[in-house]
């Protein structure tokens, strides 16, 4: 299934990536074009899947055929708030700080 430049840019926004905004940080317009062209070739290759006869085949999403385990549902405190916040780019009063949302 061919994929257009417009859909690639739209999908990128859905993934919270702005390929064109990259141009403001050093990427050139050519790089966006190259990205689109590479994506089209990869999707073109993946289209080989169409040939596979999969009628009636149950999809397999994980190879783990032995039962996955569950653990007791008990609350444990493993880390402190300070430890978790230590990697935050911006924090105040024990909270993560983000731009105004509403």
Partner 1 sequence: MSALLQLSLSEVAKGLQAKEYKVEEVVSACLDRTVATEPKLNACISVLAEQALARARELDAAGPPCPAPSSGCGNAGSTPVVPVGEIAQSLWGVPIGLKDNISLKGSRQTCASRFMENFQPCYNAEVSDRLLAAGAVITAKHNLDEFAMGAGTENSAFGRTHNPWDLDRVPGGSSGGSAAAVAARQCYAALGSDTGGSIRQPAGFCGCVGLKPSYGRVSRYGVAAFGTSFDQVGPLTRTVEDCARLLAVIAGPDAKDATSARLDLFPDNLPGQDFVAQALIGASREPGELLKGLKIGLPVEFWESGVSAEVEAACRDILNKLEGFGAILLPVSLPHQKYALAAYQVMSTAEASTNLARFDGVRFGRRGIPSDSSAAFDDLQELYIASRSQGFGPEVQRRIVLGTYMLSSGCYETYYRKAAQVRRLLVQDFEKALGSAVAGASAASGTCDLLLAPTSAATACKQGALAGDPLMAYKMDLLTIGLNLVGLPGLALPVGLGRESKLPVSLQVMGRAFDEAAMLRLGAVIERLAPAVGEPGGVEAVCK
Query: Which residues sit at the interface with partner 1, rule CB under 8 A?
Result: 1, 3, 7-8, 11-19, 21-22, 24-25, 31, 34-35, 38-39, 41-43, 45-52, 54, 57-71, 78-79, 83-84, 86-90, 96, 98-101
Minimum distance of partner 1 from residue 75's CB (angstroms): 15
Per the structure block, which two tokens stand in for 46?
A: 């993946």
Q: H or E element: which one contains 96?
A: strand 95-96
Report the alpha-carbon distance of residue 101 to residue 6 in Å, rounded. 28
Per the structure block, which two tokens stand in for 37?
A: 């062209």
3-state secondary structure of 91: strand
Minimum distance of partner 1 from residue 92's CB (angstroms): 13
Minimum distance of partner 1 from residue 34's CB (angstroms): 7
Closer residue to partner 1 in complex, CB, 14/75: 14
Q: H or E element: which one contains 81?
A: helix 81-85
Minimum distance of partner 1 from residue 74's CB (angstroms): 11
Closer residue to partner 1 in complex, CB, 60/92: 60
3-state secondary structure of 95: strand
């Amino acid at each position: 299934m061919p994929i257009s430049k417009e859909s690639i840019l739209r999908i990128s926004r859905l993934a919270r990536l702005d390929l064109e905004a990259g141009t403001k940080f050093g990427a050139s317009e050519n790089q966006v074009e190259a990205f689109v062209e590479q994506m089209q070739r990869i999707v073109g290759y993946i289209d080989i899947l169409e040939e596979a006869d999969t009628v009636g085949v149950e999809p397999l999403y994980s190879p783990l055929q032995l039962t996955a385990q569950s653990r007791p549902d008990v609350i444990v405190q493993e880390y402190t708030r300070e430890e978790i916040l230590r990697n935050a780019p911006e924090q105040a009063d024990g909270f993560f700080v983000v731009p105004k949302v509403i």
